[in-house]
Chain A
Amino acid sequence: KQEVTQIPAALSVPEGENLVLNCSFTDSAIYNLQWFRQDPGKGLTSLLLIQSSQREQTSGRLNASLDKSSGRSTLYIAASQPGDSATYLCAVTENAGNNRKLIWGLGTSLAVNP
């Protein structure tokens, strides 16, 4: 049974720091992995989607990597800003079916302090 773990559960850093959020999964047979951001009381915003054949994806100050063999993905945030404060969630899709049955981590709550 696939399980997704995100460590740490919470992180507080000063503005300007580069930081890494971790996501691990127990079964390497995934279809893709997606990183999301969620602001308090709001929906989720898709940040990056990495297909199983890809190693990394980049968008602006964000870079997500995927190592299927070790069951790990990292989200790298460069030069963090207070506006980056949110909960970051990763989710894996196990197959190409339409049900999009994502397996979710519980998220890392990030606080970037000015």
Chain B
Amino acid sequence: SQTIHQWPATLVQPVGSPLSLECTVEGTSNPNLYWYRQAAGRGLQLLFYSIGIDQISSEVPQNLSASRPQDRQFILSSKKLLLSDSGFYLCAWSSRTDSPLHFGNGTRLTVT
């Protein structure tokens, strides 16, 4: 069966510090991978998606970047965090666009 791992679960970082959130998927190959951010009262916002290694598309301009160094690994990064980067970050995968989207447990990021 397929599983998705996301870490860390919580993170507190000072403004201006770098960020690296990691997501890995097991039990499938060539998944579509996604990074979402969930803000209270605003629903989920798609940040990045990837259909293959080194194939990353950004949905919104921002202080974040994403990379996919391996088929089942998706990394969300920032060189310098802003206060507005605080939020709940979710990684997700699907095998095709018409198949269910499966989420990791999320990372609660607080920028202080």
Contacts and interface: CB of A to CB of B under 8 A. Distances in A.
Interface of A: 31-32, 34, 36, 41-46, 49, 51, 89, 91, 93, 96-102, 104-106
Given A43-B105, A43-B106, A106-B41, A101 B46 contact: yes
Contacts of A93: 97
Interface in B86-112: 90, 92, 94, 97-106, 108
A1 B49 CA distance: 22
The 6 lowest CB-CB distance pairs between A and B, nearest first, are A104-B43, A43-B103, A44-B103, A46-B100, A43-B105, A43-B106
A99 B57 contact: yes
Nearest to A41: B108
24 contacts: A32-B98, A42-B105, A42-B106, A43-B90, A43-B105, A44-B92, A45-B103, A46-B100, A46-B101, A49-B99, A49-B100, A96-B98, A97-B97, A98-B57, A98-B97, A99-B46, A100-B34, A100-B46, A101-B46, A101-B59, A102-B44, A104-B44, A106-B41, A106-B42
A102 B44 CA distance: 8
Contact of A34 (B6, B32, B100, B108): B100
B11 to A, nearest CB: 14
Contact-size category for B: 20 to 34
A97 B6 CA distance: 25
Contacts of B100: 34, 46, 49
A37 B9 CA distance: 18
For the complex, would chain B's binding face be called helix, strand, loop or mixed by DSSP majority?
strand
Contact of B97 (A43, A89, A100): A100
Interface in B43-76: 43-44, 46, 49, 51, 57, 59
Contacts of A105: 43
A97 B59 CA distance: 13
Contact of A100 (B6, B32, B43, B106): B32
Contacts of A91: 44
A101 B58 CA distance: 11
Contacts of A32: 98
A103 to B, nearest CB: 8
